[in-house]
Amino acid sequence: MKKVGFIGLGIMGKPMAINLMDAGYAILVLDTNKAAGDLTHKGAEAFSTPKEVASHSDIVITMLPDSPEVEEVVLGKDGVVEGIKEGTIFIDMSTIAPSTARKVYDALQEKKVQALDAPVSGGQVGAESGNLSIMVGGSQDAFDAVKPLFDVMGKSAVLIGDAGAGQMTKACNQMIVGMTIQAVAESFTLAKKAGVNLEKMREALLGGFAQSRILDLHGQRIIDRNFEPGFKIKLHRKDMNIALEAGKEFSVPLYGSALVASHMDAILASGKGEKDHSSIALLMEELAKVD
């Protein structure tokens, strides 16, 4: 069975790595937060540098917060690039800038290593149940070679195009998710202030054209007052920045995304960056003076 190095075992990475272990893959782990990364009791082997993980693996996966962490882990001192063997496949499943994905791809090409950018959608629930949607940039050969792993972690994996195409798709995904949360948060705030029963409203709307997973899951979070992550709003703000940068690069006005990003900034300013991204509802309630 192939040996899979897994670097970054947070809210998403840990359940993804567990699913691979349960499917029979040998897993080699590394996380700077030792408690987060501890899967040794389940049989994973732990290493202390990305270089060591890469040198012992047939496939290396990263699931890290942002572009700087991916650059450091792959290209930095004792990074993946220093240990990785020719023929290994590298998959970054974090959400990062498409330009960083292409930089990593180019650096690994020099080592005769195929790289895929393969960000995911589906959140913690999708990671735990192996139902992620995986959007991939890179070569068909590399995609085909690691498709069995994608099938363990996700319910769909689509090769979108060349290096960076997966990340550009994910930026679009995050725009839709962010603007849909804004829509759900605004409508729930109005309904609450107008005295409408939110549980009944959610139930009714889930049967109609406004139905969405965000109305379903985040609507329930708003009702339950559960704003623990899930997906930290500071990470979603990072994703909105990737989208806004792409809008600037291609001269595409992104009005809705800019508004949502500003709302996220207001939440970060109030020290709630670790909360779930559904906490946009808290801001809307505050603005509308809803208890």
- Contacting ligand NAD within 8-27 (CB under 6 A): 8-13
CB of residue 277 to ligand NAD, shortest distance in Å: 8
Count of residues near ligand NAD by CB under 6 A: 28
User: Is 240 near ligand NAD (CB under 6 A)?
Assistant: no
The residue written with tokens 């040198």 in the block is 55
Minimum distance, C-beta of residue 9 to ligand NAD, in the bound complex (Å): 6
**Looking at beta carbons only, is 201 or 244 nearer to ligand NAD?**
244
Residues 33-92 that bind ligand NAD (CB under 6 A): 33, 36, 63-65, 69, 72-73
> Beta strands 120-121 and 132-137: pairing type?
antiparallel
Per-residue binding letters, 95-134, with ligand NAD (x by CB under 6 A): x------------------------xx-xx----------
Contacts of 27 by beta carbon, 8 Å cutoff, 6+ apart: 3, 4, 5, 6, 17, 20, 21, 39, 43, 44, 45
| Amino acid code (one letter) for 69 | E
Q: Report the candidate in 9, 33, 34, 32 with the shortest Cα–Cα distance to residue 21.
A: 9
What is the rounded CA–CA span in Å between residue 144 and residue 117?
A: 14
Residue from 32, 48, 211, 262 that binds ligand NAD (CB under 6 A)? 32
Task: For CA atoms 270, 274, 280, 285, give the dihedral sign.
Answer: negative
Contact set with ligand NAD (CB under 6 A): 7-13, 30-33, 36, 63-65, 69, 72-73, 94-95, 120-121, 123-124, 230-231, 235, 239
